[in-house]
Structure 1
Amino acid sequence: MYLDVYAERERVAFELDGAATHGDPRQREIDLRRDALLATVGILVVRFSHRRLLHETTEVRREVVAILAGRGRRFP
């Protein structure tokens, strides 16, 4: 299974979703099933939209740091 970005130690997968593919309800269902499967092996999936990545970069960065810190990684 391909993961966009995977923090192995924290067991967090960050998925970067584009509107072209992930705006489709069928793709959303596939994503939810995949996320549930990953959860069964202890992997948290966090999804960010393409729009947020482009327009809310600082906020996305803060969220990523907070999520990783909450799962055990310490930042200076």
Structure 2
Amino acid sequence: MEAVEAELYRLVATRLKVAHAQVRALDVSEPIRAALTRSLLLVTEAAKRDLPEAARRLARFTDALDSGELPLPPGS
């Protein structure tokens, strides 16, 4: 694993951990929390195949969460 890829992996892993903690701390219904958690699990899965895309998806998710939006996947 190249140094740049390893650093991106560490960054994504750290940001996923923080995002999961943010979702757990939200005052939302259990179905919404479950949908948000599923979104994060999809990012985790994506990281196994396409790390840069996973990083972009996670950035969009956390930006929405930080702005007060609930970044729910389509159909939630």
TM range (shorter): 0.3 to 0.5
Structure 1 or 2: more helix by fraction: 2
- State the TM-score, normalizing by the size of structure 2: 0.38
- State the TM-score, normalizing by the size of structure 1: 0.38
